[in-house]
Structure 1
Amino acid sequence: MKLNSACNLISQTLVLSAAILYPATLLAQSDPMSPPASQTQPNRAQQAPASATAIQDSSTNSGDLGQTMKDKIFLRKAAQGGMAEVKLGQLAAQKGSSDDVKAFGQKMVDDHTKLNNDMAPIADSMGVRLPTNLNKEDQAEYDKLNGLSGNDFDMEYLSFMVKDHHKDLHEFRQEAASTTDPTLQTAVNNATKVIHEHSMMVDKLAREKGVPMPPHGGNKSASPTS
């Protein structure tokens, strides 16, 4: 009897100890209100796309700003070059020793005055301050030509016009291909066609007068920009 009583006492003690040690575990496993473990961890996969989008937007904005700055620089240079074409053309129309040089000079005045007027409102809308004076290179060429006369004037003027129009044609084509502003692109494409016509005319005049033609990596004026 005493042995049975002792065994019963030990069994009751073990059951009681198990109930004390494991209630929290049992409760946690059976509690239907406990959130799943997956909901207690941050969703890192959902954060990644937002971060990638932010980086992409930042990159796009930087690209837009960079192109806008290039457009503004182009407009200022184009206005400065157009002013020089008008000033030098006026000089050629007055001092040219041949009728064809005089006529070409007057055409530069007429065409570039129109191109300058076409570009001016676009530059104004983009906040570009247009120059009012020739740059140093063009002013030096103007002064040089102003001191020449006769055939010397014609040769120097045509030589400068050949180089200038080849350079301008290349720069206008580059701008037409890179700008994302539709208004500016249309104006630049129209100007490119005019400059191409000038380049063909002055190349022909220069060859007839025996003016040395500068190497320029192939005839970039061979076909107009569409």
Structure 2
Amino acid sequence: MSTARKLAPAGIAAVLALTIAPAAQAQTTATPIPAGSASSVAAAGRHASAQDKWFLRQAHQGNLAEIAAGKAALRESRDKGVRAIAWRLVQDHGKLDARLREVARRLHVSLPDRPSAAQRADLWHVQKRDGRRFDRAWLRLQEDAHVQTLQLIRRELRDGHSRWVKDLADDAAPVVRHHLRAIRAER
């Protein structure tokens, strides 16, 4: 048997190993790859479009705002239902944000370090209230925030490019819907 025939299976195995390597081991550079190539599917996860970057930043700020709002409700509210929702928001948005930060790191997307000025101002206005007025204002704020988050998710799923970012959005949607149902039930 010729040397070329002996080496051919090893060469094919090497090419297959390179083209079907797991995304976690793949290089995270955002170099464009022709659509017809074998690596185009893997590259779709590694390239962040402007929409993907916008989503990551907005969703991160939303998570930070939800965590801050949850902690505020845990400090201020005496209502068991509000406190249960607040605890769930802190837990769930913390987990969602940890995964989001990892994807942003892989895609080299810088993230803001706090909620937006509008989000901070909205929470500040809620925190000026006390008792049942606080609870009602807090629940209204959470309902609005979760409706906006679902709109953000739908936009990413429709217009996003990166598979990693779209997977984040897809996985976050049922969590956000669950929160919204709980908030509306408590109102």
- Do Structure 1 and Structure 2 share a fold, with TM-score over 0.5? yes
Q: Which amino acid aligns with 2:167?
A: T
Choose which of 136, 151, 155 in structure 2 pairs with 1:170: 151
Tell me what 1:115 maps to: 96
- TM-score between both structures, scaled by the size of structure 2: 0.72
Counterpart position of 2:126: 145
Consecutive aligned runs of 4 or more in structure 1 exceeding 3 Å deviation: none
* Alignment correspondent of 1:84: 65
TM-score, normalised via structure 1 length = 0.60
**Which residue of the partner structure matches residue 167 of structure 2?**
186
Higher relative contact order (CA 8 A, sep 6+): 2
The aligned runs of 1:61-140 (5 Å cut-off) are: 68-140=49-121
> Structure 2 stretches of 5 or more lacking a match?
1-33, 35-43
Instruction: Report whether the alignment pairs 1:204 with 2:167.
Output: no
Alignment of 1:156 with 2:105, yes or no, is no
Distance 1:174 1:70 in 2: 9
Aligned to 1:36: none
Give the Cα separation in 2 of the matches to 1:190 and 1:144: 31
Percent identity between the two aligned chains: 25
Are 2:143 and 2:183, in contact at CA under 8 Å, matched by a contact in 1?
yes
The Cα RMSD (Å) is 1.8
Alpha-carbon separation, structure 2, partners of 1:132 and 1:193: 26
Stretch moving more, 148-157 or 165-174: 165-174
Shift of 1:192: 0.8
Which amino acid in 2 is paired with 1:173?
R
What code does the residue aligned with 1:108 have?
A: L
SS at match of 1:130: coil
- Partner in structure 2 of residue 48 of structure 1: none
For structure 1, the 5+ residue unaligned runs are: 1-56, 58-63, 207-226
Partner Cα distance (1:108, 1:171) in 2: 18
Q: 1:122 to 1:140 in 2, by over 3 A?
A: same
- How far the C-alpha of 1:97 sits from its partner, in A, is 2.7
Does structure 2 conserve the Cα–Cα contact (< 8 Å) formed by 1:75 and 1:119? yes
The Cα of 1:182 is off from its aligned counterpart by 1.7
Count of matched residue positions in the alignment of Structure 1 and Structure 2: 143
Per-residue Cα deviation, 1:138-187 (whole angstroms, up to 9, x for no partner): 11122222222100100100011111111111210221232232222212
